[in-house]
């Protein structure tokens, strides 16, 4: 699982993350109604570590990069 958690004084950032739900959805990321933990997530169901093929690792890396980029935009805007 990859996720954005928010703590402390990040209420404005969380609101901005949630207002960007459509942008996150385009990248396959889910925006929750949470205000602290697991605000934006993406989860993969794996049976074991051996199912992590090159293709899946690339997908996870791409989605992690999108999570960071969009999350950064949200917190800079807020």
Q: What pLDDT tens digit does each residue of the chain (78 aa) get?
A: 999 998 877 778 899 999 999 999 999 999 999 998 899 999 998 888 777 889 999 999 999 999 999 999 998 887
CB 6 within 8 A of CB 35: yes
Which residue range(s) make up the domain with 60? 2-77
Q: What is the pTM of this model?
A: 0.84
pLDDT at 71: 93
Structural domains in the chain (count): 1
The DSSP secondary-structure symbol of 32 reads -
């Amino acid at each position: 699982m990859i996720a954005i958690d928010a703590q402390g004084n990040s209420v404005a950032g969380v609101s901005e993350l949630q207002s960007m739900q459509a942008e996150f959805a385009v990248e396959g990321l889910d925006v929750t109604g949470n205000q602290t933990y697991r605000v934006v997530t993406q989860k993969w169901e794996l049976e074991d570590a051996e199912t992590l093929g090159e293709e899946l690792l690339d997908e996870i890396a791409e989605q992690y990069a999108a999570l960071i980029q969009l999350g950064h935009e949200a917190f800079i805007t807020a």
